[in-house]
Every structure is written in C-alpha cells, then in structure tokens.
Chains A and B, each alone.
Chain A
Amino acid sequence: MEYKLRKAEPRDVPDILRLVKELAKYEEMEHQVTLTEKELLEDGFGDTPFYHCIITEIQGEKSSEDPKVVGFAMYYFTYDPWVGKQLYLEEFYVMDEYRGLGIGSGILRHLSNLAMKTRCTGMMFVVAENNEPSVQFYKRRGAEDLSQEEGWRLFRFDKDSLVKMAAPSEE
C-alpha cells in the first residue's frame, strides 16, 4: 500500500477536523472538541499560522478514487529560554486500520528532519500517563519523560480565570 506524506493545505481542513475528533473519541473526549473548520482554516492558513500540519494519504485501490487522509500530525514552534527554538508536537494520530505500516515512524522522521532544518534543539510533547503504547513508541526512539525526571507538571488557567484576572481590580 502506497502512502504519501505532505504538508496540509486549506482543502484538508475537513479531514484534519475529522481526525482530531477521531483521536478525541479514542480518548473518550469527543464532545470537548468545539473547534470548527472555519477556525482551523483561519488559524492555520491565514497570515500568521498558529499551527502547522502534515498529513498522510493513501491512494485508493482504483486509480479513479480520491486518496484518503489516514493520519496527521499537528505541530508548532515553541521557545525554551535556555536553548532556544523547539518543535512542539501537539497532536499525532494514524487511523486504527492503517497502523503497523510505518506511517507513524514516517511522520516522526519527517518532523525530526524539519526540526533539524529549522535549527530546533529538541522536540517536545505531552503524553497521558496511562497511554502505554504511545509512551513506549516514544521511549523506543529516545524520548525522556521530563515529568518523571524533572518533576514538571502542566497547569492551566481556563477562560473564566483569565477573565477574572484581566478584570479591573477594586482599588
């Protein structure tokens, strides 16, 4: 089965949203995806992209069929004040039926190349602690668990907290 890895284009937005929802469903969080195709389009393909995507498509059995998008990775660039630019892997998903074909490895190889080309000193990402297959997939390739080794915990201020903090305080 031939597969092709390429940069996402505006026309891929419906497939990106479909795969985002599939991954969320796998994590039992599908209803939490409130992002729309319109936002994905503006945020990824406007003047200032807030994210980048690469997708993997598989050619249909008949040459007249459209290729099918079966995997994607969403990433952006972050900044470490000690060493500079990093590539941050935000989302990474290959449809169940297309696993075990080397698509995931191909995506990681492409991203590693990109990180080197853009002079990033590392790639970072989060993994849910109970996601053993993913933890192993990454550890096999040399990933270190910084939460374990250095004790980092991820925190969030949600919108309500931000609005409260942004409000003028009573003098």
Chain B
Amino acid sequence: MASFILRTAEPKDVSDILRLIKELAKFEEMEEKVVLTEKDLLEDGFGDHPFYHCLVAEVPNEKSSEGYTVVGFAMYYFTYDPWIGKLLYLEDFFIMQEFRGLGIGSKVLKVLSETAVKTRCSAMHFIVAENNTKSIEFYKRRGAADLSSEEGWRLFAIEKKNLLKMSAK
C-alpha cells in the first residue's frame, strides 16, 4: 500500500495550500510577507480562469501530523517563451519536514514532467535561491541547468508603487 498519494488540488484544499505556503515562507524567514488569503486562492485558482494549478500530496489519516493529511504541494502555471513556445513554470514546491525522504518530492517532479510533456511544453522553468544548496542539488541531479549561471539572466521586479507612478505619467 502506498504511503502517500498525489492528486490535483480541489477548492476544499485551499486552507491547506495557504498553510503550506506560510510554512515554506517561514522556512525562508519571510512569513509576514504572505498577504494572500484563502478567498484570493479560491478565486484565483478555482474560478473561470485559473491563474495557477496545484498538486497536493496526502497521507492516510493514521500517518498524519497533528491531524493534517495534506503534507506537500506544488504550485505551477504555464508561461511562454517566444523562441520555443509553452513552458511549465514551477512556482512553489514544499513537503513538510517530517514527510521528506519518502519519495514524495521525486513523485511530484515526475507528475509535473508528465504534465509538461502531455501539454506540449518545451521545458520547465523555476527559480531557486542561490544559498539553497540542498534544493539546487536536488534539481541538478535530475538534469536542471542554472540559466542564471550559464546565460546571465537576472530576475527583476517593479512593485506596485512604481507601477502606479508609471501608469500616471
């Protein structure tokens, strides 16, 4: 009997998804930055036009930690590269500490890879913090290339207040 299952997230999973987003943010020491609410997640992920998709990992009741059966998630969406077309973008990926080493992470990547191939994506992209060596190794072991290193790409952001400034001119 499998010790966990992976499935597509449903509206009822929204509170678990938010819990796991906050746990990952806490691990990165950024928990106060999570301003998203369950209502946002519900509208944005399960409305007419989903802005993201989620996979959740679940363990049987008996194995749960503090009553939680959803122990991991991956959030992704589709992006577009003007040279090669559709891409799968892996935005967030987190398994609760006590459930690591069971192959859940590998299975998540396998399912995402299948999804990417099925939807005719040419590649999967994601970002990793340069000091997160464990994650970098996890991905490199599976063939990931560091495009920041190889091609010099840097990620930029223009936040709301500056967008407002530009839109007003």
Q: Which residue of A has the minimal Cβ distance to B103?
A: A169
0 or 1 for each of B152-169: is its CB under 8 Å from A? (1 = yes): 111111111111111101
Q: Does A164 contact B (CB under 8 A)?
A: yes
Q: Which residue of A has the minimal Cβ distance to B147?
A: A154
Check A83–B142 contact: CB distance below 8 A: no
| B-side interface size class | 35 or more
Check B81–A90 contact: CB distance below 8 A: yes
Chain B residues closer than 8 Å to A20, beta-carbon distance: 82-83
Tally of A interface residues using CB under 8 Å: 71
Q: Which residue of A has the minimal Cβ distance to B36?
A: A84
B159 to chain A, nearest CB (A): 5
Tell me the A85-135 residues at the B interface (CB within 8 Å).
85, 88, 90-91, 105, 108-109, 112-113, 115-116, 120-130
Chain A residues closer than 8 Å to B156, beta-carbon distance: 124-127, 138, 143-147
Q: Does B1 contact A (CB under 8 A)?
A: no
Q: Does B2 contact A (CB under 8 A)?
A: no
With A43-B85, A76-B79, A159-B122 given, is the CB distance from A146 to B146 under 8 Å? no
Bound: A23/B164 CA distance, A: 28
B94 to chain A, nearest CB (A): 10
Q: Does B38 contact A (CB under 8 A)?
A: no
Check B125–A166 contact: CB distance below 8 A: no
Check A157–B84 contact: CB distance below 8 A: no
Bound: A68/B57 CA distance, A: 52
Q: Which residue of A has the minimal Cβ distance to B114?
A: A166
**Chain B contacts to A: CB under 8 angstroms:** 21, 24-25, 30, 33-36, 40, 44, 51-52, 75, 77-86, 89, 91-92, 109-110, 113-114, 116-117, 121-131, 139, 142-149, 151-167, 169
28 example contacts (A-B, Cβ-Cβ < 8 A) are as follows A32-B84, A35-B83, A35-B84, A50-B79, A50-B86, A74-B80, A84-B40, A90-B79, A91-B82, A112-B158, A121-B160, A124-B156, A126-B156, A128-B151, A129-B153, A142-B158, A142-B162, A143-B158, A143-B162, A145-B155, A152-B130, A153-B128, A155-B148, A156-B123, A157-B143, A158-B122, A162-B121, A165-B109
Of all A-B residue pairs in the complex, the 5 with the closest CB atoms, nearest first, are A142-B162, A161-B143, A153-B148, A147-B154, A165-B113
**Chain A contacts to B: CB under 8 angstroms:** 20, 23-24, 29, 32-35, 39, 43, 50-51, 74, 76-85, 88, 90-91, 105, 108-109, 112-113, 115-116, 120-130, 138, 141-148, 150-166, 169
